């Protein structure tokens, strides 16, 4: 697969062109999934003159098998569970709460690193655009969507520069709108869509959030 984007900045600019109908609206919020989704989301928010924030998602792993997700928690305090996994693995509510409490602390730490003292953006009644630098299986984005619903947004849009066709199709039934710029087949990973796919740092995430005040006020 040939690289479709020079870097996340260009990917965000091209994604913004597909979302231009949301420009100059005071009810639009752009959420980036950290860390790599934030530079893409920054360019989208800048073009749309919209508020920007991060939306942190932490997996809740089964105690006996932490790699197996039994649920997730997200930035706004929402918790979503995979009841099938919980039943199959016979996980008690007490065990779930222990895992959730541990991950809540880690999530809070992440948010403080990214946001500093900035308050979270209000999501209720908003047109929320969820952005990442790409999706492979889409598991994290799916958890983000389910958690975001509990904040009662008016509309949820998932927007990504690259994803396999089947992953993009799955989100059409989950959200109000999906924008997938490129859907290569075969799909060799998100990084294959970029010439520069260097890691986004915590400092860059925080800097981009601070800079977003310039165009969202």
pLDDT (0 to 100) of residue 217: 61
> Based on the number of CB atoms within 10 Å of its own CB, is 58 exposed (0-12), middle (13-18) or buried (19 or more)?
buried
Identify the band that residue 67 occupies on the pLDDT scale cut at 50, 70 and 90.
confident
d(CA 28, CA 33): 16
d(CA 22, CA 20): 5
Q: How many CA atoms lie within 13 A of 210 on its CB side?
A: 11
Residue 1 reports pLDDT greater than 90? no
Residue 216 reports pLDDT greater than 80? no
* CATH code at 58-115: 3.30.1310.20
* CATH code at 8-57+124-211: 3.40.50.2020
Domain(s) of CATH 3.30.1310.20: residues in the chain:
58-115
Pair of tokens at residue 18: 């597909």
pLDDT digits (tens, 9 = 90+) for 135-145: 998 988 999 99
């Amino acid at each position: 697969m040939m690289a479709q984007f020079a870097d996340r900045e260009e990917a965000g600019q091209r994604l913004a062109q597909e979302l231009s109908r949301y420009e100059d609206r005071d009810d639009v919020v752009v959420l980036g999934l950290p860390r790599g989704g934030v530079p893409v989301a920054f360019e989208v928010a800048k073009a749309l003159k919209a508020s920007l924030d991060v939306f942190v998602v932490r997996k809740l792993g089964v105690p006996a098998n932490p790699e197996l997700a039994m649920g997730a928690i997200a930035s706004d305090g929402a918790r979503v569970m995979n009841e099938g996994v919980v039943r199959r693995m016979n996980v008690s509510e007490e065990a779930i709460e222990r895992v959730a409490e541990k991950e809540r602390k880690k999530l809070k730490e992440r948010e403080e690193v990214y946001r500093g003292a900035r308050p979270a953006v209000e999501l209720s009644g908003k047109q929320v655009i969820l952005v990442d630098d790409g999706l492979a299986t889409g598991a994290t984005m799916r958890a983000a969507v389910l958690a975001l619903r509990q904040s009662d947004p008016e509309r949820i849009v998932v927007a990504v520069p690259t994803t396999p066709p089947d992953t993009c199709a799955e989100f059409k039934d989950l959200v109000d709108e999906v924008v997938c710029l490129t859907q290569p087949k075969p799909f060799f990973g998100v990084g294959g869509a970029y010439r520069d796919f260097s890691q986004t740092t915590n400092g860059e995430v925080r800097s981009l959030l601070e800079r977003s005040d310039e165009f969202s006020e």
